Amino acid sequence: MTPPPPKRVPWSQHTLRQLKLVLPGAAITYYLGTFHEFLWIFNGAGGSLGRTAALGAAILGFTTIVLFIYVLMMPLITGEEPNYQSWRESGVLSSVIPLLTASIVFGWLLTVITLGQWSSLGYVKGVIGVSAVYALTFGLLGLVPVPKPAGVKRKA
């Protein structure tokens, strides 16, 4: 039995849903100065260990964004729309989804530790600030339009 096709949400509804992540994420990130604090550590103000932790967090954040965009663009790359609900049966998704999940979790955790240990934010504001940055990032990634190529077949 073939699963039903994914439900398409009108653009304006989708945009409003994403803005619920983008606006609070941007406001909290700006208010706490999360990027400024992170860049301060990244540029060496936290010593070599702080800079190494910030570099690792930045690499994991970049990896998360690249993998997320790859998953979004899979229909254009492969010519088939994967069934995201049964990702374990997909050859590509069964590898990419666990990597994406690991990069999100470990990147978030390392960034919290970095800000908590080497910034003036501390751990509580660090958790809030990093969560806001992640909400902002995923909200913006959700706004990326993914054109569906002509003749795309749904992969079972």
Contact 83, 156 (CB under 8 A): yes
Please give the C-alpha separations between residue 102 and each of 26, 81, 97, 111, in angstroms, as whole numbers. Answer: 24, 24, 9, 14
pLDDT band at 145 (very low <50, low <70, confident <90, very high): confident
Confidence (pLDDT) at 107:
98
Confidence (pLDDT) at 14:
80
**pLDDT beyond 80 at 155:** no
SS (H, E, C) 83-130: CHHHHHHCCCHHHHHHHHHHHHHHHHHHHHHHHHHHCCCHHHHHHHHH
β-sheet bridge partners, residue 80 = 153
pLDDT in tens, 3-54: 555 565 566 888 888 899 999 999 999 999 999 999 999 999 989 999 999 9
Confidence (pLDDT) at 19:
92
DSSP state of 2: P
pLDDT in tens, 110-140: 999 999 999 999 999 999 999 999 999 999 9
**pLDDT beyond 60 at 152:** no
Confidence (pLDDT) at 1:
55
69 CB-near residues (< 8 Å, 6+ apart): 141, 144
Main-chain phi, psi angles of 151, to 5 degrees: 75, 20
pTM (two decimals): 0.84
Q: Which residue, 107, 117, 119, is CA-closest to 39?
A: 119
Confidence (pLDDT) at 17:
87
pLDDT band at 89 (very low <50, low <70, confident <90, very high): confident
Residues in the chain, total: 156
Structure tokens at 16: 């409003």
Main-chain phi, psi angles of 9, to 5 degrees: -100, 135
pLDDT band at 147 (very low <50, low <70, confident <90, very high): low
Confidence (pLDDT) at 5:
59
Contact 51, 41 (CB under 8 A): yes
The rounded distance, in Å, linking the Cα atoms of 126 and 132 is: 10
